Chains A and B, each alone.
With several copies, the nearest count.
Chain A
Amino acid sequence: MDALKVSLCGIPLDNPVIPASGTFGYGHEFAQWYDINCLGTFSFKGTTLSPRLGNPTPRIAECSAGMLNAVGLQNPGVHEVIREELPKLRSCFHKPVMANVSGFSVDEYVEACRLLAAEPQVGWLEINISCPNVHGGGMSFGTDPASAALVVEAVRKVTDKPLIVKLTPNVADIIPIARACEDAGADGISLINTLVGMRIDLKTRRPVLARQTGGYSGPGIFPVALRMVWQVAGAVHIPVVGMGGVSSAQDVIEMMLAGATAVQVGTANLVEPTICRDIIMDLPRVMERYGITSLSDIIGGAR
């Protein structure tokens, strides 16, 4: 299966398929569905320094080609994650994991990253500067090159592990933000996080979500995600991890042709719990159909 292998920031992956943060918990939920060691890696639930209860419910709204979520970064906090979740994870996953970190100040990012980077199983840090659900949260960092750089520089000082910065698509021009992250020392860029969206319930005539707006994910955002992956891959020299609506082996290949070194699958896990395994199993057949002998060869191949 060498045909599927890629390398992400110097760490080899058996395949480029990575469940996306917030849709795969801390892994063990999915170990009940299949052996998650088949994955390239996975990005665990967005973790913050302190525990967070998240937003009021309803937090979920359906869309015709995806969903909205306003989970609001509910997580047990980095200490609990290290104490409870990582040991559980070790028992079902034997590869380096991607630690997804959110924060509401530079210091919070730094402290959470420092703690997680010290964990042996953490292979990459993925810092989410893009979560649109939390007031005064990631939004401000991710929509402005200077603030983005601030976080990256600060986190860079506390770890030598690969640092992947996850960007929000809710910006007019993604390129300066990606470049600022690269210049500030990021080892990779991942994108996209969710688009801000909304639904209204015709019966109650009220927004479906308690928080009114939420993050739109799923197949409906794929064309926007692909475009941004293409733009960023063409603008930086570090690897890009592509995501947004990916739900088939074909989508994975399209993302890689656009320039992604690895591809995350988010929402699709929620609807089809075995989708990542299924995609990995399907990849060789689809590659053959399109005459692809090695995935690492096609990264950015559409340019």
Chain B
Amino acid sequence: MNDVLFTVLDNALLARDVYRLRLQGDTGAIARPGQFVNLKVEGCFLRRPISVCDLEEDVLTLIYKVVGKGTATLSRLVKGETIRALTGLGNGYDCAPAGERPLLVGGGVGVPPLFLLAKELRAADKAVCVCLGFGAKEDAFYLREFRELGCEVRLATLDGSLGHKGFVTEILPERYDHFFACGPEPMLQAVCAVTRTSGQLSFEARMGCGFGACMGCSCQTLTGSKRICREGPVLRKEELLWTR
């Protein structure tokens, strides 16, 4: 965990209401894909948690959707401005159980953390299948980027404007060794229901602090109470109450 002052490199519209923000600064505390940073946004009292999407030396990439006041303010950041963030928060995904054919399942702005994960899995030469779900074609992003990593990319949109028409859970491959998922809770629940392997799922919660101090983000699991910001945001499928 670190308190870092970042400088904006760029901040560009990527898809409908979705922006990519690239920040320069000390990324040393970020250890794993699936971790997040907590941004101090001007005019907002609480910080805003955003997943690490990509990391290259001292450049941190975040992808966020404008859904309210804080993300709207973020979208107005321009090159050269600075923003403070607590970095290296959360447990992140554990690549060890990935197996040879890991499956990545992402929905909407749950997709970003899967990118750094895919990158690491590809670096370890895994056969990565990425299944992405979006509302419509206009919402989709990073397809090319995943393909360029050498992943198999499958797509579903709710309105059928790109790829399969329907839910992302309808396009999962037959065979995979372990899955990694991030997306809205109904999607995560569906993923849990249709997958047969072990897996890891990343959750969201309204956060007070983002680093384990307030107990605001607690979540009950079969292995006890977990703080989404600390013992999460990634939980193992096996510990979820849903699987009971």
Closest B residue to A75 using CB positions: B215
A65→B45 CA distance, assembly (Å): 6
Partner of B46, one of A24, A58, A62: A62
A79→B160 CA distance, assembly (Å): 56
A1 near B: Cβ within 8 Å? no
> Which one of A5-13, A102-110, A266-274, A279-287 is at the interface?
A266-274
B208 near A: Cβ within 8 Å? yes
Within 8 Å CB of B212, what residues of A?
25, 29
Within 8 Å CB of B214, what residues of A?
22-23, 60, 69, 71, 270
Which residues of A from 1 to 44 have beta carbons under 8 Å from B? 22-25, 29-30, 32-33
B193 near A: Cβ within 8 Å? no
Please tell me if the beta carbons of A74 and B213 are within 8 angstroms of each other in the complex. no
Partner of A53, one of B44, B205, B217, B225: B225
Please tell me if the beta carbons of A64 and B45 are within 8 angstroms of each other in the complex. yes
Partner of B208, one of A32, A33, A60, A64: A60
Partner of B45, one of A54, A58, A218: A218
Please tell me if the beta carbons of A29 and B213 are within 8 angstroms of each other in the complex. yes
Chain B nearest CB, measured from A32 CB (Å): 6
Closest A residue to B216 using CB positions: A60
B220 near A: Cβ within 8 Å? yes
Please tell me if the beta carbons of A69 and B1 are within 8 angstroms of each other in the complex. no
Please tell me if the beta carbons of B225 and A62 are within 8 angstroms of each other in the complex. no
Please tell me if the beta carbons of A57 and B209 are within 8 angstroms of each other in the complex. no
Within 8 Å CB of B175, what residues of A?
none
Q: A65-B45, A67-B45, A218-B45 are in contact. Are A74 and B218 (CB under 8 A)?
A: yes
Interface residue count on the B side (C-beta < 8 Å): 24
A164 near B: Cβ within 8 Å? no
Please tell me if the beta carbons of A59 and B220 are within 8 angstroms of each other in the complex. no
Chain B nearest CB, measured from A247 CB (Å): 11
A232 near B: Cβ within 8 Å? no
Within 8 Å CB of A176, what residues of B?
none
Please tell me if the beta carbons of A60 and B207 are within 8 angstroms of each other in the complex. yes
A53→B86 CA distance, assembly (Å): 27
Can you list, as one digit per residue, whether each of A45-82 has a CB less than 8 Å from chain B (1) or not (0)? 10000000110011111111111010100100000000
Within 8 Å CB of A71, what residues of B?
214-216, 218
Chain A nearest CB, measured from B68 CB (Å): 8
Q: A74-B218, A271-B45 are in contact. Are A60 and B206 (CB under 8 A)?
A: yes
Within 8 Å CB of B167, what residues of A?
none
A54→B45 CA distance, assembly (Å): 24
Chain B nearest CB, measured from A269 CB (Å): 6
A63→B115 CA distance, assembly (Å): 33
A267→B219 CA distance, assembly (Å): 21
Q: A57-B205, A58-B206 are in contact. Are A273 and B215 (CB under 8 A)?
A: no
Q: A62-B45, A271-B46 are in contact. Are A69 and B213 (CB under 8 A)?
A: no
B177 near A: Cβ within 8 Å? no
B176 near A: Cβ within 8 Å? no
Interface residue count on the A side (C-beta < 8 Å): 33
Within 8 Å CB of B44, what residues of A?
62
Please tell me if the beta carbons of A273 and B209 are within 8 angstroms of each other in the complex. yes
A33→B205 CA distance, assembly (Å): 23
Please tell me if the beta carbons of A24 and B213 are within 8 angstroms of each other in the complex. yes
Chain B nearest CB, measured from A22 CB (Å): 7
B47 near A: Cβ within 8 Å? yes
Please tell me if the beta carbons of A74 and B225 are within 8 angstroms of each other in the complex. yes
Please tell me if the beta carbons of A59 and B206 are within 8 angstroms of each other in the complex. yes
Within 8 Å CB of A60, what residues of B?
46, 206-208, 214, 216-217
Closest B residue to A64 using CB positions: B45
Partner of A59, one of B40, B86, B216: B216
A208 near B: Cβ within 8 Å? yes
B3 near A: Cβ within 8 Å? yes
Closest A residue to B210 using CB positions: A270
Chain B nearest CB, measured from A140 CB (Å): 23
Chain B nearest CB, measured from A43 CB (Å): 13
Which residues of B from 174 to 219 have beta carbons under 8 Å from A? 205-209, 211-219
Most chain A CB neighbours (cut-off 10 Å) among B216, B218, B219 = B216
Please tell me if the beta carbons of B206 and A273 are within 8 angstroms of each other in the complex. no
Within 8 Å CB of A66, what residues of B?
45
Q: Pick the 6 closest A-B CB pairs, nearest first.
A: A270-B209, A60-B216, A58-B206, A60-B206, A74-B215, A60-B208
B positions within 8 Å CB-CB of A: 1, 3, 40, 44-47, 86, 205-209, 211-220, 225
Apart from the given pairs A59-B208, A59-B215, 5 other A-B contacts in the complex at a CB distance below 8 Å: A23-B213, A57-B205, A65-B45, A273-B86, A273-B213
